[in-house]
Amino acid sequence: MKSHDKKDFTINKTVIGISAVVFGIIFVLGIVKPEIFTTVLTDIVNFLCDQLGWFLNLAVIFSIGMTLYFLFSKYGKIKIGGEDAKPEFSKFTWWAISLCAGMGMGIVFWPPAEVIEYSCNPAVGGHLAAASPEALSKAFEFTYLHWTITLYGVYVAAGLVAAYVCYNMKQPYSITSTLYPLFGKKVYKYQNVIDGIVTFAIVGGVAGSFGYGLLQVSDGLHQIFNLPTGALMWIIIAVIVTIVYTLSSVTGLKKGIQWLGDNNAKLFIAMLIFVIIFGPTKFSMNLGLETTGSMFSNLFKNLTFTEPFESADKWSVWWNWLWYLDFFIFAPTTGLFLARLSKGRTIREFVTVNMVAPCLFGWLWVTIFGGIAAHAQYIGGLDLYQLIQSSGYESVMLSLFDQLPIPTISKSVMMIVILVSFITLANAVTSTISKMSVKLGPNYTQDDAPAGIQIFWGVFIGAIAVIFLLNGGLDGAKTVKMLVGYPIVILQVLVLIGFIKMFVKGEYKEKHLFKK
């Protein structure tokens, strides 16, 4: 690893300071007045969702529509980085890193829990009886929606803009640069503030995901080895994981992240094959095929689901819009990260590898793991809904392996998948926000930010996750993410409008490719 002279870069104090100051205030207020603070934040989030929830649905539809348009339009043959650019990764490695950076550890935590929660406690606005076949079908529809087209529609739309602006238009590697097609050079006057707000949102998002991971791994250690769960165990796990993902980030994109992405994807595939062989696969595939049909039949109905009547229980807020806001919070930095992998590939390849292929994988994962959860709940006699009430959502995934052979070994392997999944996500985010946190000089020749900055962000994210968890503030962190998410949604909509406007007006660089 090359060392750098201090003249090669300067630290962007605004980008770092916004996250440090705001999270410091949140932490202090949460300690001094926790009940009042959480109540006020929740009231603000509910107000925003009541007034602007419909906007989230439209923003997601807009993102999906734009991504699909560039997949099938003539612009799909434009190459990221110019006609002479060469790919840096094999397609499998590219897909593996994209899959793991996009889904992170969420897909190993939530899908089976969502299927059970949504079917046993369906949205009031859906008018379905709890635990009915119709409620189960609707549960699969929304779980598919969350882990396929909406997730990657938002991420890939952001990534496509970032890739083109940074590598074809030669703009700086920055969130602010994605607004360049709409506002031109004047947008850079506000770069530090924009990047700082986005960095704050992504740190909150990753810290929240880290918190879920700590709970799940701690619960797994309790199930397998009967180790006590609680604060001490969370801290030990957090320290170990933070050290690993920080070191892997420091080693650079082509070493640490590439190795993690490759092996994480292989672990995903291995666990899928194991459950397909030994699980209730006939039931899962039949149920999955049937509910996939209903998902497509109700696609636009589900994408526009808002529960407008006051009698609704705000299911759409905490189980639908929460996910959409989470996707948008991660979108700017995930988009920049996906852009870094895309040089030498066409726009059509970019969308296919980063959206179509991960969506197919997400569908299969939800089908198999959601199917075994539904089988356990409604046929196998394992009351997962009661388990959620008593032990939390983190207990669901690992408990499924009690239905399969060698549960101790399979649970241990799945815990490794959970850890590697989060490490891959945190690695990608740490690498991206670290590069946003410095201004690089002309003599700085490395692809990655200085090691010291990456270590700072790696430790900071881990510390925030532990602080919220130890103070019972994980739900508060989720609320903060939702609160900060709305400005990011508006930012991303403006980014997409500017990108489309550029192509409509013919201001893109590759017009010569389409001359007859």
308: enclosing H helix or E strand? none
Structure tokens at 1: 């690893």
Tens of pLDDT, residues 40-91: 777 877 788 888 899 999 999 999 999 999 999 999 999 999 988 999 888 8
The string of DSSP codes covering 369-402 is IIHHHHHHHHTS---HHHHHHHH-GGGHHHHGGG
Whether pLDDT at 328 is above 90: yes
Tens of pLDDT, residues 403-425: 999 999 999 988 888 887 777 77
274 or 245: which leads in pLDDT: 274
pLDDT value of residue 415: 85
Tell me if residue 329 falls in helix, strand or coil: helix
- Structure pTM? 0.88
Beta bridge partners of 439: 10
Q: What whole-number distance in Å separates Cα of residue 184 and Cα of residue 203? A: 28
Other Cβ atoms less than 10 A from the Cβ of 458: the count is 26
Q: Which of 17-21, 222-226, 287-291, 438-442 is the least confident region?
A: 438-442
Domains and CATH numbers, the chain: 6-510 (1.20.1740)
Q: What whole-number distance in Å separates Cα of residue 461 and Cα of residue 204? A: 8
pLDDT value of residue 185: 94
Tens of pLDDT, residues 187-236: 999 988 888 888 888 887 777 778 777 888 888 888 888 888 888 898 89
Whether pLDDT at 4 is above 70: no
pLDDT value of residue 210: 80
Q: What whole-number distance in Å separates Cα of residue 425 and Cα of residue 432? A: 11
Tens of pLDDT, residues 102-125: 776 678 889 999 999 999 999 988
Whether pLDDT at 516 is above 80: no
Whether pLDDT at 255 is above 50: yes
Q: Is 236 exposed, middle or buried (0-12, 13-18, 19+ CB in 10 A)?
A: middle
Tell me if residue 439 falls in helix, strand or coil: strand
Highest mean pLDDT among 82-86, 313-317, 336-340, 499-503: 499-503
pLDDT-derived band at 317 (thresholds 50, 70, 90) equals confident
